[in-house]
Amino acid sequence: MPISSDHAIEVFNNATEENGLCPLRQNQVIYLPGEGEVWVTGDIHDHRRNLDKAIRSSDLGNNPKRHIILQELIHGDRIDANGCDGSWETLYRAAELKCDHPNQVHFLLSNHDLAQIHGEGIMKGGMSVCEAFNAGLKRDFGDRSTTVSVAISEFMLSLPLAIRTGNNLFMCHSLPTDAEVPNFDYSVFDRSLTGADYRRRTGPVYQLIWGRNYSPNAVDQFADTLGVGIIITGHQPQDTGFAMNGTRNLIIASDHNQGVFIPVDLSQDYDMPKLVRQLKKYAAVAV
């Protein structure tokens, strides 16, 4: 059945509220407990089969101590003949999951989220993904598309910047570049955000979620400043599903058939080799 504009708006608004009410959240960081599990996904980019496998196999309803982290859900390859991207449906499904399991489902603000909010022209195959997303909303909601778009923007603005665990892991969408790390404003994790934080190139939120090709030395400096061990990120495409950037940064991707996710035991300690052994390919998941 088609989703009505009123229902979509209600789900996104409720998920926005749940993001703010989560008892595990302190400012821009979710602090996970020292027991149970967390399943970490990489960029989804509207890969509906992989998201479906993650949702079904995590089985949150029957595993109340299991958490799942989702990021970069929008802007995939499902573009119709009229240039419309329907990835709002994947975002809607994730928002619905948040409403059903508010203290188990967590998100990471990602660069495509911010680009869609700001209307920045990320190009794929010669097409603006933001314009294609808006066209998809117009196709599916008509005159109500602007109102739905506002609800989606408010939902994405409510997403946290990072997840932190008691066993010394830290998850965020990306990291600042080597040149930005020395002067990065780490207070962004511990306070309310302002418009300046999102500003292109100079804002710490922008720097955090847009940075690419940072070195292991930059990772070490970032991790040491925060007092964490290993940082798990997405953002940078990985043909094999993952890459080790030194000994303290694992980059994962979930947006293709070789994509991976990581189930992590929150009561165990991990070094990089042990963490890599936890990687699971979606292709191997039967649901």
- The answer to whether residue 119 scores a pLDDT higher than 90 is no
Instruction: Show the beta-strand stretches assigned E in 189-259.
Output: 230-233, 242-244, 249-252
Q: What is the pLDDT of residue 214?
A: 98
pLDDT band at 287, cuts 50/70/90?
Answer: confident
Asked if residue 121 has pLDDT above 80, the reply is no
Tell me, what's the pLDDT at 87? 98
- H helices of the chain, in order, are 5-21, 48-58, 88-100, 111-118, 129-141, 145-157, 204-210, 216-226, 272-277
The predicted pLDDT at position 30 comes to 98
pLDDT at position 124 is 79
Backbone angles phi, psi at 7, to 5 degrees: -70, -40
The pLDDT, as a whole number, for residue 127 is 83
Q: Rounded distance, CA 76 to CA 45, Å?
A: 5
- Once rounded to an integer, what is the mean pLDDT over residues 236-247? 97
* CA separation for the pair 245, 206 (Å, rounded): 21
Read off the tokens for 3: 């989703």
CA distance 35 to 66: 9
Q: What is the mean pLDDT of the chain?
A: 97
Domains of the chain: 5-284 (3.60.21.10)
pLDDT in tens, 140-188: 999 999 999 999 999 999 999 999 999 999 999 999 999 999 999 999 9
Q: CA 239 from chain center: how many Å?
A: 19
Measured CA distances, 92 to 38, 72, 138 (Å): 21, 13, 16
Q: What is the pTM of this model?
A: 0.97
DSSP string, 28-72: TEEE--SSSEEEEEEE-TT-HHHHHHHHHHH-GGG-TTEEEEEE-
Label residue 5 by pLDDT band (50, 70, 90): very high
d(CA 187, CA 227): 14
pLDDT at 122 over 90: no
